Structure 1
Amino acid sequence: MNMVGTSDARHLPSGGTPGPAADEAESLVCDVAIVGAGLAGLALARRLHLAGRQVRVLEARERIGGRLLTRFSAATDQPLDLGAAWFWPATEPGVAALLAELGLASVPQHDPGDALWLDDPDRAPERHDAAPGQVHQGARRIEGGSARLAQALADALPPQALCLKAAVCEVHRADGGGVLLHLADGQRLHVAQLVLALPPRLVAERIRFVPALPPPLAEALAAVPTWMAAQAKAASAFGRPFWRAAGHSGNAFVRHPQAVLGEVFDAGTAPHGALGGFVALDAQQRQHFRRGLPLLIHSQLGQLYGVDAQEGELHLQDWAEEPWTCAQADLAGPAEPPRADARLRQPWWGGRLFFAGTETALHGAGHMEGALDSAERVASQLLLRPADARPSTPADAATAVAAFRQAVQGLRAQGPERYQRHLVRMLSGTAAGADAQGGLSARALRAAAEQCYAEALGHLDALLPAPAAEAGAPVQGRHPLTPALLSAFAGWSQSLVDEALAFNARSCALSKLPHEHQPDAEDRRAIARALAAAWQAFALELNARLCVAAEAAREPAA
C-alpha cells in the first residue's frame, strides 16, 4: 500500500512573484486589485488585462488555482484532480467556451460498465447495469487536469500582475479615492478598485473593513456556505484500469453507516487508471481517524474491486484543513448548496468594492461555471464606458429595450430543453438514493431559470451604459428601464412549469419517483418558491446593473 502525502505532491508551476513592495503603498499602483487567484480571480484578471486595465492578483497561498487542484502520480505521472473536476457542456457552456478559447482539450468522464451498490458492510456489492453516460450524464474533465485551466489564465497575465503569499487582512476606503489594502506581513497597497474573489464566509471571517461594512452586507457574506469547503476527496492511482476489464465503470455508491468513501468514480487517464472518491466521513471524524484513513480507504476499494484495488498510490485532499478555503462557519454547519444574496453581486463603496467567486454566481454557483459567471459579471461592471467609448451601443432606451426583448424571446424558447438537461444530470443523484421525497424538479427548474437569467444579464451588459443614462436617473432605488425589461419575461415562469410537469408525467425515468412524476400540492409549492427566489435575485441584479450603468455613463471616459 502506497500513500503520497500532500507535502510530496507535484503541482503545476504556479508562476507569480512575491507580494508587493512596501514602497508602493502611497501611490496608486494599479486600476484593479483582485484578491484570490482561483478560477474566478484569474478569469477576471485576464479579461481586464485584455481590455487594457492594470491588474494585480493577490493570493494568500503559495500556489494558484484555489479549488482547482491537480496532483500527479509519482508512478504513472497521470493527473489527479482533488478539487473541481467536472463540467457539463450542455448546462455549463461558459467552461466549454473558455477551454476552446484557450486551446485546452477536454475528455469525457468514463462511465461505460456497471455501477456497484454497497449498502451492507458484510456483503459483496451489488452490480447494476448502467447505460454509457447514465451516471455522470455527459460530464467532461479537462485534459491534463483542472489546474491546467488556472495555469493558462495565469500565463496570459504579465508576470508582475500575480503576487503569491500575499494575504490581505484589512481593507480601507481611502479618503482621497481608491482602496488601501493591508497585507498580513505589514505591507500596504493602494488601488483604484478592489475585487474580493474569495468565498464570502472567508471575507466575513478573515478581512477587516474600515469603515465597517453595512450590517446587511456583512450578514449576507457570513450566510453563504462555501462549496465543498468541509469535504475531502481521494484518488488512488494504478498502472492500469483493471476494473474496466471486469466490466466495471468505476462508479460505486456506498450507503452503509461505516462508509469511508460515499461515492467512487473512474478518475484515470489512459493507459493508466485511477479511482477517485468523496470521503463520507465529516471533518471531525476524519481528524479522529486521521492516521488510519488511508488504510480504511484502501480497504473499501478492495471490498469493491478486489485485492488489486488495495495497492494504489493514494492522494488525499482534506479541504477542511485549507484555511484559505474553509471558514469556521463551514465546519460548524451542514453542507449546503451556496445561494448568495443579490447584494453580493452589486458594487459597494461607490463602485470601489466588488465581490466575485463561484458562491456569488447567479448560475452555476459552486461549480467552475459559477466562477466564470461571477468573473463575467464583475468584468462587465468594471468595464462600463460612456456612449462615445462604445459606438456600437444603442444610444436610446427604446432601441435597447427592443433588442433585449428579442434576445429574451430566444431564451424563453430554450427554457424547457434546459430544464430537461438539468433534470437528466440531477437524476444521476437518484442512483445514489437522493431525492426519494422530491425536490429534483424544483432544483432543475431553478437551475434552468438561473441559466436563462444569467444569459439575459449578459445581453443587457452588451447594451449598456448609454440607454441606462438616456432613460433617466433611478427613483427611490429603481431604474426607469427596470419594469420594461422585466416584462420581457412575463408569464414565462408559469409556462416553464407547465411544460416541465407535462414532461415529468410522460417520463419513464421519473415513473419510480412519485414526487416528480405526479407532484402533489406541496411539491408544486416548492417549485413555486424555487422559481420565485430565482426571479427575485434576477430582478434585483438587473435593476442594480442599470443603476450602476447610469452612474458610469455620467462619468468622463477613463
Structure 2
Amino acid sequence: MAVVQPLVADVAIVGAGLCGLALARSLHAQGLSAVVVEARERLGGRVLTRRCEATGQALDMGPAWFWPDTEPRIAALLAELGLASAPQHDPGDALWLTDPNREPERREETGGVHAGAYRIKGGAARLVEALAATLPAGSVHPGSALRLLRDRGAWLELQLEEGQEGGRRMRLLRARHAVLALPPRLVLERIAFDPPLPAALVDALAATPTWMAAQAKAVTTYSRPFWRTAGHSGNAFVRHAQAMLGEVFDASDDATGAGALGGFVALGAAQRVNFRRGMPMLIESQLVQLYGAQAQQDGRQHVCDWADEPWTCSAADRAGQPEPPQADPALRRPHWAGRLYFGGSESATHGAGHMEGALESAARIARALAPVRAAAPGAADAGDALSRFKATVAARCAQAPLHYRQHLARLLSCQQAEQLTQRALLATVEQVYSETLVALDGLLPGLGLERAGPVAAGRHALTPVLLAAFDGWNGQLLSEALAFNGGSCALSNFPDEHQPDTVLRRAIALDLAAAWREFALELNGRLMAASTNADARRTAVPA
C-alpha cells in the first residue's frame, strides 16, 4: 500500500457530517487550521438528499425536519447562510390503519401531526453544501477512512486509508487536536487507539445508540399531491402486524408542484433482508390501501436503508432495538490531556440525534478549542453583566413551560408512548441550559473574572452567584408540567403521564438533578477557563 505526503493541521476532524463541517467553519473563523476527513466519497453523513429525475423533487432520505421553536441553532445557521425553509405540510386529516382488512380511520389532528416542524427548501443537503463552500480549498478529504489514532505526546497521529479497492494508499495526518465527529458506536467498531481508551470510556461509547442507524426510509414520488385534494394531510400511521410503512408523511417539494409520500419502514433490519425483493410491491399496496388507486398510477419509489450504510450503522445498532440517544457526559469531556474530543449529534445534551444536536456538539468543541483572545474594548462592568445574565435566565425560565408543551407535542407526533413527561422535561431543561451557556459566553468579558475572588476546591467564586438565578426552578417547572398533564386531553390515554405515580416522579427528579449537575459543572468550567485566559493575557509579555 502506497504512502503519500502527510497532512498537518491544528485540528483533525473525522467525519464530514453537519457537526464536522460546522466545527471546521468555526475553527477557520477563529484562525485555526482544520482538516476534515470523511470515509464516504460524499459529504453530509446521515444528511442525504436525492433528486427524483421524473419530477425534479429534492428527497430527504435522512433527516428532514427541524423545529425552530425548540432548536434555535439550526434556525440561526440557516438564516446566516441565507437558506430558506418551509413548514412541513400538515393540514387535513391523518389516517390510522390498525386492521389490514379494514378501511383506514380518518382522524383530525389539531395543530398538525408534526408540531411546528420545518424543512429546508431544496433538501437538507443544501445546508451541507453551504457549509462546505465556506471552507478553504483542500481542507476536506472524502474517501479517507481513519484506521488508527495514536497519541504521540506533542501531537496526535491519524493513520488514514484512502482510495478504492486495488488502489488504496496510506496517509498520515498530524494535528494538535483530534475530533471524532462520528456515531460513538462506529468509533469503537472502526478505529484503533494507541494507547487504548479507558474501559469506562469504551463502555460509554458502546452504550450510546446511533439515531436512525438501523432504519429505512422510503419516498414515492407522483406528478402531483393527489391526496391533498381529498382532504388528506399525507400523514398516516399503520399499526398492525403486516405493516410495511409504520408512519407516512407528505414529503412533497412544493416548488416543483409534484407530490411525494415518505415513510419509515416498519420492518427491522433483518426482516428487510428477507423482504427486499417484494418490498416495492408491498409499499405500493399499503399506499393504495391508504390513498386509493391513484397511489399506483405513476409512483416512483426511492428507498434508503441506513442499516446497509457501513459508515452509519454499527453491528450493535443493527442487532439492537431503536433507542433515542442519551450520551454519557464522559463523551462531552476532552480526553488524552485535552487533545481528543468526541462530537457528532449523539454526544449533544440538547437535540441529540437531530441536526440541532450536531450543531450543539460543534459549538461545544469550537468553544473548547478557541484560542485566547483579548477582551473586547468597552465591555460592560461586572454588575451590568451579572444583571443581564439574571435577566436572561429569568426569560429562559419563563419560556420553559411553553417549550415543555412543544417538546411533548413533538414526542406525541412521533407516536412515542413511553416516558413522555420524563423525556419532554429533560429536553426542556437541556434547551434552557444550552441557551443559557450561549448567553454566558457573550457576557464573560464583562463579568470581571479577574476581580471575582479566589477559587476554592475547584469552584470559581462566581459560580454560586450565577447558579442562584435558577433557585427553585426545577421544582417549579416540574409542578407546572404535571399541572398541564392533568388537564391535557392528548395525555388522557396515558395514565402514567396524566397522573404520574411516586416512582415516576422520583425518576424524573433524578434525571433533572443529573442535568443540573452537568450544567453547573460546565458553567463552572467556562468561568475557570475564562479566568485562566484573563490571567494569561495580563501576564503575557508584548512582542
TM-score (norm 1): 0.88
- Deviations for 1:289-345, whole angstroms, at most 9, x for unmatched residues? 122222211121121112221341111111111111111111222211111111211
> In structure 1, how many angstroms separate the alpha carbons of the residues matched to 2:371 and 2:476?
34
Correspondence list, 1:57-76, <5 A: 57-76=36-55
User: Is 1:417 the counterpart of 2:402 in the alignment?
Assistant: yes
> In structure 2, how many angstroms separate the alpha carbons of the residues matched to 1:315 and 1:363?
31
Contact 1:70 1:82 in 2 (8 A): yes
Residue of structure 2 in register with 1:525 after alignment: 506
Contact 1:346 1:541 in 2 (8 A): no
The match for 2:71 among 88, 92, 97 is 92
> In structure 2, how many angstroms separate the alpha carbons of the residues matched to 1:189 and 1:554?
33
Q: Please give the secondary structure, in 1, of the residue aligned with 2:56.
A: coil
> In structure 1, how many angstroms separate the alpha carbons of the residues matched to 2:495 and 2:143?
52
User: Is 1:227 the counterpart of 2:211 in the alignment?
Assistant: yes
Q: What amino acid is aligned across from residue 358 of structure 1 in structure 2?
A: S
Correspondence list, 1:171-190, <5 A: 171-175=149-153, 177-184=154-161, 185-190=169-174
Shift of 1:555: 5.4
Correspondence list, 1:391-470, <5 A: 391=377, 403-429=388-414, 432=415, 434-435=416-417, 439-464=419-444
Shift of 1:118: 0.7
Shift of 1:106: 0.6
User: Is 1:364 the counterpart of 2:351 in the alignment?
Assistant: yes
The match for 1:374 among 348, 361, 384 is 361
Residue of structure 2 in register with 1:261 after alignment: 245
Residue of structure 1 in register with 2:132 after alignment: 154
Q: What amino acid is aligned across from residue 94 of structure 1 in structure 2?
A: R
> In structure 2, how many angstroms separate the alpha carbons of the residues matched to 1:221 and 1:553?
35
Question: Equivalent pairs: percent with the same residue?
Answer: 58
Q: What amino acid is aligned across from residue 82 of structure 1 in structure 2?
A: M
Residue of structure 2 in register with 1:341 after alignment: 328
**CA separation of 1:552 and 1:354: change in aligned 2, threshold 3 A:** farther
Q: What amino acid is aligned across from residue 26 of structure 2 in structure 1?
A: R
The match for 2:196 among 212, 216, 228 is 212
Shift of 1:129: 2.4
Contact 2:345 2:354 in 1 (8 A): yes
Aligned length in residues: 527
Q: What amino acid is aligned across from residue 32 of structure 1 in structure 2?
A: V
Residue of structure 2 in register with 1:14 after alignment: none
Shift of 1:216: 1.9
Q: What amino acid is aligned across from residue 126 of structure 1 in structure 2?
A: E
Residue of structure 2 in register with 1:37 after alignment: 16
> In structure 1, how many angstroms separate the alpha carbons of the residues matched to 2:439 and 2:350?
15
> In structure 1, how many angstroms separate the alpha carbons of the residues matched to 2:482 and 2:473?
14
The match for 1:305 among 270, 291, 300 is 291
TM-score (norm 2): 0.91
Contact 1:180 1:188 in 2 (8 A): yes
Shift of 1:551: 5.1
User: Is 1:77 the counterpart of 2:56 in the alignment?
Assistant: yes
The match for 1:277 among 246, 256, 263 is 263
Shift of 1:541: 2.9
> In structure 1, how many angstroms separate the alpha carbons of the residues matched to 2:311 and 2:20?
14
Q: What amino acid is aligned across from residue 403 of structure 2 in structure 1?
A: R
User: Is 1:251 the counterpart of 2:235 in the alignment?
Assistant: yes
CA RMSD of aligned residues (A): 2.5
Q: What amino acid is aligned across from residue 135 of structure 1 in structure 2?
A: V
> In structure 2, how many angstroms separate the alpha carbons of the residues matched to 1:251 and 1:165?
38
Q: What amino acid is aligned across from residue 171 of structure 2 in structure 1?
A: Q
> In structure 1, how many angstroms separate the alpha carbons of the residues matched to 2:466 and 2:200?
27
Shift of 1:552: 5.0
**CA separation of 1:72 and 1:333: change in aligned 2, threshold 3 A:** same
Shift of 1:74: 1.6
Q: Which stretch shows the higher mean deviation, 107-116 or 302-311?
A: 302-311
Residue of structure 2 in register with 1:236 after alignment: 220
> In structure 1, how many angstroms separate the alpha carbons of the residues matched to 2:379 and 2:182?
32
Shift of 1:225: 0.7
Q: What amino acid is aligned across from residue 409 of structure 2 in structure 1?
A: V
Q: Please give the secondary structure, in 1, of the residue aligned with 2:267.
A: coil
- Deviations for 1:465-507, whole angstroms, at most 9, x for unmatched residues? 8966766886665555444433332211001111222222333
- Deviations for 1:94-116, whole angstroms, at most 9, x for unmatched residues? 11111111111111111111111
Contact 2:3 2:170 in 1 (8 A): no
Shift of 1:393: 6.1
Contact 1:469 1:550 in 2 (8 A): yes
Contact 1:384 1:464 in 2 (8 A): no
Contact 2:396 2:432 in 1 (8 A): yes
Q: Please give the secondary structure, in 2, of the residue aligned with 1:145.
A: coil
Residue of structure 2 in register with 1:294 after alignment: 280
The match for 1:51 among 27, 30, 43 is 30
> In structure 1, how many angstroms separate the alpha carbons of the residues matched to 2:196 and 2:376?
36
